[in-house]
Amino acid sequence: MEISQVYETTVADRISNHAVRFLIIPHKDLSASIRHNDPAAMDALEDVLGLQGIRSISASDLPKTIAGMLLADSEDAAFQKLQAKAVLDHILQTAPSPTTTAAATPELLAFAEHVAFSTLVPFEESPLGLVSLASKAAALSKNGVALGAFIGVVAGGATPLLLLTVPTGIILCATAVAFAKVVDAKRNDISYKLLGVGPRPQ
């Protein structure tokens, strides 16, 4: 018997209705080929989720990035007209976008900071415990390019996903809307390609 287990959690603000969801895959639960870097976990995730325009982000940029992802939900129609680079520029606030009008409220920024810095992500090291996204990203800031925090946009749309790849596993983060649209929809592919579980995708 060979058991594979993943973890999920949702963090939501009852007042503002902001919500993000996480999928956490411990390294030991990845398929044997991915554990042996054939293909790399990052490459497998890019492929199965259809991510493009991937950019590395620092731990200090996580709140701004999460706030931008939440704003992208509220401006879905405008964002769908943008190319991946423009979406990421807007989310990371490196270039102004005339097609969007929403601004990050203090409540949204406070929620984004809570998601980034609070120890609320269940992560299996030894034993299972809670970690913060920022602590995981900061620990890898001087590591190789395949490790750390990244943001990408799903091909064929403007849905941003945040992922952290660390030696002990993968953390995938998205707004609740984006998670349902992309991760839930591709659940079988993720299970097969990353975990070696379930039927081969058609």
Dihedral of alpha carbons 36, 39, 45, 49, sign: negative
**What mean pLDDT comes out for the span 28-52?**
89
Pairing of strands 169-175, 7-12: unpaired
- pLDDT score of 53 more than 50: yes
Band of residue 189 on the pLDDT scale cut at 50, 70, 90: very high
pLDDT given for residue 71 in this prediction? 83
CA gap 151, 65 in Å, rounded: 8
- pLDDT score of 28 more than 70: yes
1 or 25, which is more confident: 25
pLDDT given for residue 157 in this prediction? 65
**What mean pLDDT comes out for the span 4-30?**
93
Are 53 and 152 in contact, with CB atoms under 8 Å apart? yes
CA gap 92, 66 in Å, rounded: 9
pLDDT digits (tens, 9 = 90+) for 60-112: 889 988 988 888 877 655 555 555 666 677 677 644 444 444 567 889 999 99
Strand partners, 173: 22, 162
Check residue 80 and give left, alpha or beta (phi > 0: left; psi -120 to 50: alpha): alpha
Which DSSP string do the residues of 97-139 spell out, in sequence order? -TT------HHHHHHHHHHHHSS-EEEESSSEEEE-HHHHHHH
**Crossing angle for the helix pair 62-74 and 106-117, to the nearest 10 degrees:** 130
193 or 166, which is more confident: 193
**What mean pLDDT comes out for the span 19-45?**
91
pLDDT digits (tens, 9 = 90+) for 116-166: 999 999 887 667 788 888 888 776 555 444 567 888 888 766 788 999 888
- pLDDT score of 172 more than 90: yes
